[in-house]
Structure 1
Amino acid sequence: MITAEEIGVYKPRLRAFAYTLDKLGVAPDEIVHVSASPSRRGPAVPRARPASP
């Protein structure tokens, strides 16, 4: 788990997401963000699906 306190910034600051991607060693299309605040959700955003083998 990566917290805003660890990063020193809060979302939606790009630095928060960039830090997380770098720390996990993944690309943006390899991760899913899950909100902890359902009441603050925005509209659903479709994500790319991996190609079938």
Structure 2
Amino acid sequence: MVLFLLLVIIAIVLGLIGAVADGLWYLLLIAIVLFVADLAFFGVRWWRRAGRRPLR
């Protein structure tokens, strides 16, 4: 969970810098890709964890 939050914070910071600074649009693209990859990583972990619950 810490890794997820850290990557989200990094994506937000890169996105803000890329959106505000002139000529650094590539940072905005990197932030978007990082955020999507982070959501996919979190989704895979959540999906795998949900499948391990024992049936009662």
Normalising by the residue count of structure 2, what TM-score does the alignment of the two structures yield?
0.30
Larger radius of gyration between Structure 1 and Structure 2: 2
* More helix as a share of residues: 2
